[in-house]
Amino acid sequence: MTARRAAEARWLAWPGNLRGALWIVLASILFTVMSAMVKTVGSRLDSFEIGFFRCAFGLLTIVPFMLRVGPDSLRTDRPFLHLWRGLLGTTAMFCGFYSITHLPLADATAIGFASTLFMIVLAVLFLGETVRWRRWTATAVGFLGVLVMVGPGGHGPSPAMAAALFGALCVATVSVVIKKLSQTESPLSILFSFGIVSTAASAGPAILVWQTPTFGELALLVLIGVIGTVAQNCGIRGFRAGEATAVAPFDYSRLVFAGLLGFLLFGDVPSPQTLMGAGLIVASTLYIARREAALARRPEPAETAAPPLPAVRDQAAE
């Protein structure tokens, strides 16, 4: 047995939930590092240009896998739904990057988790799902947390906060669209179509605000694409290795890492209102996730399951 296989055997001998939690924590660290890089290059480059590079490098990452699978993976009967998903995802990405560059990292990260709350509403409106009072109450508490963050004593209403909230809404809408697409389309097809649409859609806005990146900025832009892809892979591995209810709470470690990096790199100090609002958002979305898992184990005829808590998400709209 080689050293590599021995190490893999020891790793697989660990409990699945422990392995899943470690993958999720690693993904959270990588996503936070990526956000910090976005905030750094965003001090000079526009969010549209950063988004274009993120999409382009992401597409380049997917191309080799598409070539391996062959042209059959590109066939689809739902081109317009792919287009809609790509445009929504691109909008969410632009909003996310804008909020990261204009808000403290912890604030932008916390608002991003509000997408779970929007998904509850969208599932009722567009998927015909029934949600009973427990999850409606949790959703209301989560939105109260958002109001605490943007209200008096917090950062107050601002274009960056509005962009963060609209981005969270777009991410939630993307999740609903993906739920429909996944009934007939492969994950690779969905990712590849998003890469094509987002790269094309972001090219025009990027040209309008174009500033030639310096060598250092270009290196960071490449790293943003690579780290984002690796982080997504870690998140997928985490949710495959462990139970969702066991590993999902570790996704919220991003708030801790974002607060630490925000303080160390940018001097951001969260206000008490920010901490309180983020706590309400986290508590409500965790409850929704656990409620979803409980219903999956013991189906309730009177209540159709709401959309599950998203797995680890990229700020580039997944």
When pLDDT is cut at 50, 70 and 90, the band that residue 298 belongs to is low
- Report the C-alpha gap between 27 and 254 in whole angstroms: 9
Give the residue-averaged pLDDT of 118-140: 79
CA distances 51 to 26, 63, 145, 169, Å, are 23, 18, 28, 18
Q: DSSP letters along 261-305, please? A: HHHHHH-----HHHHHHHHHHHHHHHHHHHHHHHHHHS-BTTBPP
Residue 154 and residue 41 in contact, taking contact as beta carbons nearer than 8 Å: no
Give the residue-averaged pLDDT of 84-97: 92
Residue 155 and residue 106 in contact, taking contact as beta carbons nearer than 8 Å: no
Stated pTM of the model: 0.81
pLDDT for 299 equals: 52
When pLDDT is cut at 50, 70 and 90, the band that residue 116 belongs to is confident
- Report the C-alpha gap between 220 and 235 in whole angstroms: 22
- Which has the higher per-residue pLDDT, 160 or 3? 160
Give the residue-averaged pLDDT of 38-53: 94
Q: How much is the mean pLDDT over the chain?
A: 82
CA dihedral 201, 204, 210, 213 (to 10 degrees): 40
Give the residue-averaged pLDDT of 25-45: 93
